[in-house]
Amino acid sequence: MLSAVAWVAIYSYLIDPGHDPTYYQNHAQFASPIVSVVVGMPYLFVACRWVGRKAGTRAVATSLSVWFILFIIDVLLLSLGGATAYIWGMAAISHVTKMLAAYFGGKTALKDVQRIRRADV
């Protein structure tokens, strides 16, 4: 959300200034799902790596659980909000990429945990 607001601010002040607020609201509705896909991947990777390190040997399962909780919340909110086909499509792309980010964040955390345990022995 914050990333989408930042993108619209950059777009409205630096890239395409001088339009009325409705123009920027329409741009925000189009661009926000794209920003979610692009920025959500590294955010979730880093978050799941951090959470996964705390989970130890269950890093991957914990990271995928984090993604699943976010997925359920997002589907419920989209269902209540009357989302368009474009929004549903972008949400599907977003969640596939975020699931992969969570998985690889958990795998990276697991490798970190295993490396630390080998060093302690």
**Contact predicate 66/51, CB 8 Å:** yes
Q: How far apart are the C-alpha atoms of 110 and 54, rounded to whole Å?
A: 10
- In which residue are the tokens 């890093």 written? 59
Measured CA to CA, the distance from residue 64 to residue 106 in angstroms comes to 8
28 within domain boundaries = no
Is 21 part of a structural domain of the chain?
A: no
Task: Count the neighbouring beta carbons within 10 Å of the beta carbon of residue 30.
Answer: 11
Structural domain containing residue 91: 33-120
Contact 98, 43 (CB under 8 A): no
Report if residue 25 sits inside a domain: no
108 lies in a domain? yes
Q: Does the residue 87 lie in any domain?
A: yes
Domain count, the chain: 1
Positions of the chain with pLDDT under 70: 1, 121
Structural domain contains residue 9 = no
Residue 27 lies in a domain: no
Domain membership flag for residue 62: yes
Q: What is the pLDDT of residue 121?
A: 63
